[in-house]
């Protein structure tokens, strides 16, 4: 417990990391709790109120159907964050598995890594677009497509770390004890991969939110009736010259969240780096 307190103290000793973490907590709390208690319908259409500028009644203005934008941003955050978390989760699981196998078993290294390299040679967004068009546009297909796009990234980092950890003496010690290979992977290598994987997790979370917005903007993302930050911008684009707030506020939400995630990810990496060096 002392160690956790120490780690948190170190992590937040830089004010910007603290601020970024606070933003994330606030965004997540709003996304989770606000819709539970507000009772407001974010899809309530009010034709009389369409494209109203920000006011005391509608903090972020209204969109082309007169829906309150601030409400929709809060509701949209649920989907955007969900997509981010799900993508990060799935790509980390798949990437860790592939990277671990490639890094530990010399025979699997070349075949796995060639596929990974091939995938990485495509630009992220292009691969995403092709995958979604093959799979069909739906919330889960976007998650699946993005998870596939980011898996190689995780796999490479995990492979590199596995190559290092595999050579450490405690792995030799386990082999000398006769510990089985699956257990060596699971009990000795995997826990020591947690630091780089955690950093990747936060970065992919941020990338996925941005990529989802990008895909939706290009019309190959989540169906427009689901309010994500990306679909909000995409559907309001044609009104942007008259009602800038329809794209500015969802845009700010995306930037703020993605930036905060990156900063926290950086903070985690800075924190873990010297420790890794010390133990190596």
Q: What are phi and psi of 68, to 5 degrees?
A: -70, 120
Is the Cβ of residue 56 or residue 279 nearer to another protein in the bound state? Answer: 279
Contact 88, 197 (CB under 8 A): no
Q: Report the C-alpha gap between 152 and 158 in whole angstroms.
A: 10
Contact 63, 50 (CB under 8 A): yes
Which alpha helices (H) appear in the chain, and where do they start and end? 2-11, 15-38, 69-104, 106-120, 124-135, 139-166, 169-177, 181-183, 190-217, 229-236, 245-279
Is the Cβ of residue 47 or residue 176 nearer to another protein in the bound state? Answer: 176
17 closest CA partner among 250, 270, 207, 194: 270
The length of the chain in residues reads: 280
Query: Least distance (Å) from another protein to the CB of residue 162?
Result: 14
Query: Least distance (Å) from another protein to the CB of residue 154?
Result: 19
Is the Cβ of residue 30 or residue 174 nearer to another protein in the bound state? Answer: 174
10 closest CA partner among 219, 279, 270, 276: 270
Is the Cβ of residue 55 or residue 180 nearer to another protein in the bound state? Answer: 180
Q: Which residues of 102-128 are buried (b: 16+ CB within 10 A; e: fewer)?
A: bbbeeeebeebbeebeebbeeebeebb
Query: Least distance (Å) from another protein to the CB of residue 173?
Result: 5
Query: Least distance (Å) from another protein to the CB of residue 157?
Result: 18
Is the Cβ of residue 105 or residue 239 nearer to another protein in the bound state? Answer: 105
| Residues near another protein (CB under 8 A) | 10, 168-170, 172-180, 187-188, 191-192, 194, 279-280
Is the Cβ of residue 174 or residue 255 nearer to another protein in the bound state? Answer: 174
Query: Least distance (Å) from another protein to the CB of residue 94?
Result: 23
Query: Least distance (Å) from another protein to the CB of residue 197?
Result: 13
């Amino acid at each position: 417990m002392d160690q956790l307190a120490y780690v948190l103290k170190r992590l937040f000793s830089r004010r910007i990391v603290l601020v970024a973490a606070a933003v994330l907590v606030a965004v997540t709390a709003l996304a989770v709790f606000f819709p539970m208690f507000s009772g407001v319908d974010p899809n309530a259409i009010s034709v009389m109120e369409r494209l109203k500028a920000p006011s005391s009644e509608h903090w972020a203005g209204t969109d082309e159907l007169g829906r309150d934008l601030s409400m929709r941003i809060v509701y949209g955050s649920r989907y955007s964050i969900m997509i981010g978390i799900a993508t990060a989760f799935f790509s980390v699981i798949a990437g860790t598995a592939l990277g671990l196998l490639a890094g530990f078993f010399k025979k699997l290294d070349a075949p796995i890594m060639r596929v990974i390299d091939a995938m990485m040679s495509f630009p992220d967004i292009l691969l995403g677009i092709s995958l979604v068009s093959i799979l069909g546009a739906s919330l889960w297909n976007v998650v699946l497509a993005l998870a596939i796009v980011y898996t190689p990234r995780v796999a490479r980092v995990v492979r590199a770390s596995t190559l290092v950890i595999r050579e450490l003496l405690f792995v030799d010690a386990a082999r000398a004890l006769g510990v089985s290979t699956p257990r060596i992977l699971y009990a000795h290598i995997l826990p020591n991969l947690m630091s780089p994987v955690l950093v990747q997790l936060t970065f992919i979370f941020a990338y996925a939110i941005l990529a989802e917005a990008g895909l939706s903007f290009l019309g190959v993302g989540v169906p427009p009736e689901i309010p994500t930050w990306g679909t909000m911008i995409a559907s309001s684009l044609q009104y942007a010259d008259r009602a800038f707030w329809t794209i500015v506020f969802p845009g700010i939400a995306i930037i703020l969240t993605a930036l905060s995630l990156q900063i926290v990810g950086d903070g985690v990496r800075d924190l873990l780096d010297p420790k890794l060096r010390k133990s190596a």
